[in-house]
Copies of this chain bind each other. A is one copy, B any other.
Amino acid sequence: MDSKYIKELLSAVKNGEIEIDAALETLRNLPFSDLGYARVDHHRSLRKGFPEVVYCEGKELRQIEGIMQELIKSGENILLTRAGEDIYHVLEGWGLTVKYYREARLVMVEQREPAKSRGIILVITAGTADIPVAEEAALTAEVMGNTVERLYDVGVAGVHRLLAYRELLEKARVIVVVAGMEGALASVVGGLVGKPVIAVPTSVGYGASFGGLAALLAMLNSCASGIGVVNIDNGFGAGCLASSINQLAE
């Protein structure tokens, strides 16, 4: 569905050739472009309240380029997750305002100033090695218009490190807890506060961590009620969920 078609449709509305309701229906019905290998979903931004996001893992460079050529037409900010440095250089070459976060493997295309929410999303990590996943969550939330604060390396082996930051915990509206190994930080945070906690298990660890399974199971079995868990290393998903919660109260 290219822009030519949308223009014609809007003309028909203007001229009274088509009812507004019918036009609305048409717009809602088929909002994607067919690239053969990918169907670009132009209305997701409206439907989900998200900027456009491209998950790059398993896609070839030329496919990502094709998708980006479609997406940049929207004028929205675009986030590329699990992105290599190559696509960053391509997009830079197109003259776009692009940032690359190497650790978090994120590329951000800024086509307009992102909003800043009043409510704060707090992103916490248990250790230093969890930071790349935490940054994926934090940057995702920021590109979606949220104010984010970070509190890193406050794992439960030294629980006083966390307790020292209780005021920060109180101030946040939503908390994202990122932890590998035994993932116990989610339970301790969840027990301290009465607000939504999103837990992100990471694959940090070895041996019987089984690639993050230990942390995942711990978070799912948390004795602190009211914790929502996302996939192992899924900082992006946590950022999305935190954003959709935070935006409810704006």
Contacts and interface: CB of A to CB of B under 8 A. Distances in A.
Interface of A: 2-3, 6-7, 10-11, 13-14, 16, 20-21, 23-24, 27-32, 35-39, 41, 44, 47-50, 53, 57-60, 63, 67, 103, 119, 126-129, 131, 152-161, 163-164, 166-167, 170, 173-174, 181-184, 187-188, 190-196, 198, 201, 203-234, 236-237, 240-241, 243-245, 248-249
A149 to B, nearest CB: 12
B223 A217 contact: no
Given A30-B161, A182-B217, A230 B232 contact: no
Contact of A158 (B44, B228, B236): B44
24 contacts: A7-B24, A37-B153, A41-B161, A50-B194, A57-B206, A58-B129, A59-B128, A126-B223, A156-B184, A156-B224, A158-B191, A182-B184, A182-B217, A182-B222, A195-B244, A196-B241, A206-B233, A207-B211, A207-B212, A207-B234, A208-B232, A214-B214, A214-B217, A227-B230
How many copies are assembled? 8
B47 A127 contact: no
Interface centre among A35, A154, A204, A229 (most CB of B within 10 A): A229
A238 B193 CA distance: 16
Contacts of A215: 218, 221
A211 to B, nearest CB: 8
A127 B223 contact: yes
Contact of A207 (B14, B220, B224): B220
Contacts of A237: 225-227
A231 B221 contact: yes
